[in-house]
Amino acid sequence: MPNLDMNFDIVGTLNIDRGEEISRAVRELPGVNKVQIDYYDNKVMVGYSPGLINVQMIKEVIESKGVDVSDKGDD
């Protein structure tokens, strides 16, 4: 199954410490192969294998780090 990329829009502003926390936590998930933090647009970009993990699981890990993910239709 091909890898997919998903952008998670963060509500509010991401600081570097929080972004690094999110990046570490998401990278530890099975099936995640890429994590990029866009501080300018407040996005977490994740590359993943959908057979191993789903969007909701990634979103929950991001939110467990104290930020809200927008529900504007990405998932």
Domain ranges of the chain: 4-65
Instruction: State yes or no: pLDDT of 57 exceeds 50.
Output: yes
Mean pLDDT rounded to a whole number for the chain = 92
Instruction: State yes or no: pLDDT of 72 exceeds 90.
Output: no
- The CATH code for residues 4-65 is 3.30.70.100
> Model confidence at 75, in pLDDT bands (50, 70, 90)?
very low
pLDDT over 70 percentage in the chain: 93
Q: How far is CA 53 from the centre of its chain?
A: 12
pTM: 0.90
Instruction: State yes or no: pLDDT of 1 exceeds 80.
Output: no
